[in-house]
Amino acid sequence: MKEELIINKSCSGFSTLEMLIAMAILIMVISAVILVSFGSQSMLIDSQTNSEALNKAQELLEEVQALARKDYKLVNPVATITDGIYQKKIDVETQPDFFTKKVTATVSWLGEHNRNLNVQLSALVTNFNNAVGGDTCDSVLRDNTGATNADVWKTPQVKNSITDFAQLAGVSGIYPITDIDAYKGKLYITTNNSSENQSTFFVFDITDPTNPVLDHGGTDKIDNDSDNNSGLNAVAVAENASGNGKIYAFVANASGVSVGQLQIIEVSVSPPQVVATYPMPGVTSTSSSQGVGNSIFYKDGFVYLGLKATGPGNGPEFHIIDMHDFLANPTNPNLIHYADSYSIGDDINAIYVKGNYAYLATSDSQELIVLNVSNPTDISTGSPVWGYDAAGGGNGKSLYLVGDTLSLGRTFPSSGPEFYILNNTDPTNIPVNNPDPPSPYPYTQSIGSSVDGLVVRAGLDTVVPSTLHNLAFFLTSSNFQLWDITNLSAITQWSPTFLNLPGSGSSSFEPVLDCEGNIFFVGSNNSEDHGYLSVIAP
C-alpha cells in the first residue's frame, strides 16, 4: 500500500512536468501560428494592392496608346493624380528619332508600416501616321536638362550668337527668308532671290542647334532657277519610305506659272540637286505674281501644294500630286502623277493634312477651308467645301492641329481676334460647332499683330507639380510670344515679356518658324528685307 502511494506520487510529479513542458510548447506554437497568420495577411494585402496598382498602370498605358493612335502630339506627361490610395502619373521621354516616345506609367501607394511602394510599366509609342516627313517638334515642353518643365519657357532666349543669315550662309547680299523646315538634324531654308544667279535654297547642320552651320563645308546651297529671281516660298522635307537613303525637299516655286510651281530637290547629295520641276496643269496667269507656289505639305507619298490666287478663270489654287511611283524610281521624273485640284479663288497661305481632310488657311472671306481628300484623285465628289468665316476681317495665315482642337492664326489689321481655337471633333461641321456668338467654341484671343506662325505644346508646372500647361507659341511680325491656353475661357500671357526678333519690319516677307525637339528656328526680315535666323530655346 505504501509502495503504491509512492508510485502514484512519482507518476503525478512526472505528469505535472510534462504538462508544463507541453504548455510551453503549445504557447510557442500558438505564438508562431499567430505571427504566421498576421504575416500571411500582410502578404495577402500587399499582393492585392500590388496587383491592383499593376492593373492601373496598364490602364494608363492603354489610354496613352489610344491617344497616340488619335494624335501623336497628345502623348504628353500626366501630372500626379489621386485614385483612392494610389498616386498615378505618366512620364514621357522623346527618343532620338523624333517619332518615338517612351511612356512610363507609375502607380505608387503607402503600404503597411508606412512603406513607400510603387509599380512602373513602360512602353514605346510611335508616330506611325507621320513617320516619314512628319513634324519633329517635341510636343513636350522641356528645360535645358531635358526635364519636363513649362516654367523655363517664360523667358525664351535667342541662343545663336550670329543671327545674320547672309553671314551664316557665307554669302553677300540681301536674302529674305521665306520658309524653314527642321527635319532630323538638318535645317532647310528657302529665300527670295534679289538678283539672278544667287542661291535660294540652303541646308544647315543643326547637330548643335545653337550653332547652325552650312552643311558639307558650306557647299549645300543652290539657286533653284538661274533664269528667274523670285526664289522659293515654302519647303517640306521627307525621306524616301523605301529606305534607299534618298531625302527630298519639296518646294513651292515662286518663279512663275510657265516655269512650274513645284520643284523637287534631292538633299541626300551635296550640293543638293533639282531633280524635277513640275507645272500645275490647267493653271494660267496674266501676272508673274499670280498662280505661283505659296504653301506646301507632304504626307504619305502625296504633295499638297497651295498657290497664290490665279485670277478669274486661270485655274485652281489647291493641288495634290502623287509621288509614290517617282519615289520608287526617282531617276524618272515622268513618274510624277497629278492627282486632282480644287479652286479656292484666293491665296492659300498654309496647309495641314490630317486623316481624310486638308485644312487650308486662305485669304478668302472664309479664312479656313476644309476639303475631303480621302480620295486624292477626286476631291470634288468628297467635298462640298466646309468653310469657316471668322468674325471681322483678316486672312487665314497659320494652322496647328492637336487632337480635336484646331488653332487658326489670322493676319492683322483685323476687326476681330487674330487667334482662334476651334472645335474640330467633326471637320464637316466646323461652322456648326463654332457658332457666332461662341457656345462655348470658338475661343479667341486678340494679339494686336498677325499670327504668322503657330505651334502648341504641353508641359508640367514645376511650382505646382499637379498642373499641366498647354502653351501656344506665336510668331508675329516683330516678336516671339507665348500664351497659356490651358483654360480656354481665360487665355493669358505666359511669358512676362515677349522676345523681340533680331530682324523685323519687312513689308514684303513675313517671318516663319519651325521646331525640332525642344528648339525653335525662326526666320525674320528687316525693313530692307535682310534675313535673320534665330535659334530660340529656354
How does DSSP classify residue 148? B
Report DSSP letters for 290-326, one per residue: TT-EEEEEEETTEEEEEES---TTS--SEEEEE-HHH
In tens, the pLDDT along 281-293 reads 999 987 888 999 9
What is the rounded distance in angstroms from the CA atom of residue 88 to the CA atom of residue 115? 17
Mention every residue, 6+ apart, whose C-beta is less than 8 A from residue 431: 386, 387, 388, 389
- Cα torsion angle, 509, 295, 76, 484, sign: positive
pTM score of the predicted model? 0.89
Burial category of 375 from C-beta neighbours within 10 Å (exposed 0-12, middle 13-18, buried 19 and up): middle
What per-residue confidence (pLDDT) applies to 21?
Answer: 59
Selection from 513, 514, 404 nearest residue 450 by Cα: 513
Q: Which sequence spans correspond to the domains of the chain? A: 42-129, 163-454+526-531
What is the rounded distance in angstroms from the CA atom of residue 522 to the CA atom of residue 537? 11
- β-sheet bridge partners, residue 453: 475
Are the beta carbons of 372 and 382 closer than 8 angstroms? yes
Give the containing element (helix H, strand E) for 90. strand 86-94
Scanning 152-300, the segments in alpha helix (DSSP H) are 165-169, 215-218
pLDDT under 70: residue ranges of the chain: 1-46, 131, 194-197, 383-385, 462-466
What per-residue confidence (pLDDT) applies to 32?
Answer: 44
What per-residue confidence (pLDDT) applies to 278?
Answer: 95
Are the beta carbons of 132 and 143 closer than 8 angstroms? no
Edge-first strand order for the sheet with 262-266 is: 232-239, 247-253, 262-266, 273-278
For domain 163-454+526-531, give the fold. Answer: Methylamine Dehydrogenase; Chain H (2.130.10)
What per-residue confidence (pLDDT) applies to 380?
Answer: 84
What per-residue confidence (pLDDT) applies to 415?
Answer: 82
How distant, in Å, are the alpha carbons of 33, 194, 489 from that of 226?
94, 12, 52
Are the beta carbons of 467 and 458 closer than 8 angstroms? no
Burial category of 125 from C-beta neighbours within 10 Å (exposed 0-12, middle 13-18, buried 19 and up): buried
- β-sheet bridge partners, residue 514: 521
What per-residue confidence (pLDDT) applies to 302?
Answer: 96
Q: Residue 216 — left, alpha, or beta (φ > 0 → left; ψ -120 to 50 → alpha)?
A: left
How does DSSP classify residue 373? -
**Cell numbers placing 272:** 543638293
In tens, the pLDDT along 169-204 reads 999 888 999 999 999 999 999 999 766 668 999 999
What is the rounded distance in angstroms from the CA atom of residue 529 to the CA atom of residue 259? 25
